Structure 1
Amino acid sequence: MTSFVDKSCQGLSATGFHRIAYREWGTGARTIVCVHGLTRNGRDFDILAADLADRLGARVVCPDIVGRGGSGRLANPDNYGYPQYLADMAVLLARLDTEQVDWVGTSMGGLIGMMLAAQPNSPIGRLVINDVGPFIPRQALERIGDYVGQDPFFADMDGVEAYFRSHYAGFGALTDAQWRRMAETSSDAQPGGGFRLAYDPDIARIFKNSAVTDVDLWPVWAAIRQPVLVVRGAQSDLLLADTAERMTKEGPRASLYLVPDAGHAPALLADDQVTAVRNFLAHD
Structure 2
Amino acid sequence: MSEPLLKSLQCLGPAGLHRMAYWEWGQRDNPRVLVCVHGLARQGRDFDALARRLSAQYRVICPDVVGRGRSDWLANPAHYQIPNYVADMVSLLARLDVEQVDWVGTSMGGLIGLGLAALPGSPVRRLVLNDVGPSIRYEALQRIGSYLGQPVEFETAEQGAAYLQGISQGFGPHSAEQWLALSRPMFRAVDGKLRLHYDPRIAVPFAAVTPELAAAGEAALWAAYDHLRCEALLLRGADSDLLSRETAEAMTQRGPRATLHELPGVGHAPTLVAAEQIALVEGFLNKA
Q: Please, what TM-score do these two structures have when normalized by structure 2?
A: 0.94
Deviation, structure 1 residue 145: 1.4
Instruction: Quote how far apart the aligned CAs of 1:237 are.
Output: 0.8
1:60 matches 2:60: yes
- Structure 1 position 253 matched with structure 2 position 270: no
Aligned-residue offset at 1:218: 1.5
Aligned to 1:123: 123
- Mapping 1:66-85, distance limit 5 Å: 66-85=66-85
Matched length: 281
Q: Deviation at 1:6? A: 1.2
Please state how far the C-alpha of 1:211 moved relative to its aligned partner. 2.1
Return 266-275 or 135-144, whichever deviates more: 135-144
Contact 1:230/1:257, CA 8 A, preserved across alignment = yes
Match of 1:203 in 2: 202
Match of 2:277 in 1: 273
Match of 1:9 in 2: 9
Q: Distance in 1 between matches of 2:225 and 2:209?
A: 24
Offset of 1:210 from its aligned partner? Answer: 4.2
In the alignment, which residue of structure 2 is the partner of 1:150? 150
- Return the alpha-carbon distance in structure 2 between the equivalents of residues 9 and 122 of structure 1: 21
Compared with structure 1, are the counterparts of its residues 3 and 195 closer, same or farther at alpha carbon in structure 2 (3 Å cutoff)? Answer: closer
Distance 1:210 1:274, change over 3 A: closer
- Tell me, what secondary structure is at the counterpart of 2:133? coil
Tell me what 1:30 maps to.
Answer: 32
Map 1:161-180; keep pairs closer than 5 Å. 161-180=161-180
Give deviations 1:213-248, integer Å, cap 9, x for gaps: 345121111111111000110000111011111111
Alpha-carbon distance between aligned partners in 2 of 1:230 and 1:280, rounded to the nearest angstrom: 10
In structure 2, C-alpha distance between the alignment counterparts of 1:124 and 1:2, rounded to whole Å = 27
Structure 1 residue 90: deviation in Å?
Answer: 0.6
| TM-score, scaled to structure 1 | 0.96
Superposed displacement of residue 151, structure 1: 2.1
Provide the rounded CA distance (Å) in 1 between the counterparts of 2:223 and 2:165: 36
Q: Does 1:228 align with 2:232?
A: yes
| Paired residue type of 2:22 | Y
Matched residue type, 2:63: P
Give 1:2 deviation, angstroms: 5.2
SS of structure 2 residue aligned to 1:189: strand
**SS at structure 2 position matched to 1:279:** helix
Whole-angstrom distance in 1 between the partners of 2:199 and 2:2 = 31
Offset of 1:158 from its aligned partner? 2.5
Does the CA-based 8 Å contact 1:3-1:26 persist in structure 2?
no
Conservation of the 8 A alpha-carbon contact between 2:83 and 2:115: no
- Deviations 1:234-269, CA, capped at 9 Å, x for gaps: 000111011111111111011111110110000100
Deviation of 1:96 after TM superposition, in Å, equals 0.4
Letter in structure 2 aligned against 1:205 = V
SS of the residue 2:55 aligns to: helix
CA contact under 8 A between 1:2 and 1:26: conserved in structure 2? no
In 2: Cα distance, 1:2 partner to 1:52 partner? 12
Q: Which amino acid aligns with 1:263?
A: G
Give the 4+ runs in structure 1 shifted more than 3 A: 212-215
Q: Secondary structure at the match of 2:94?
A: helix
- How far apart in 1 are the matches of 2:253 and 2:15? 43
CA shift digits 1:71-114 (9 cap, x unpaired): 00001111111121011001001000001100000000000111
**What is the aligned partner in structure 2 of residue 137 from structure 1?**
137
For 1:159, the aligned partner's letter is: Q
Between 1:2-11 and 1:232-241, the stretch displaced more is 2-11
Paired letter, 2:124: I
1 CA distance for matches of 2:164 and 2:9?
Answer: 29
Cα distance, 1:3 vs structure 2: 4.9
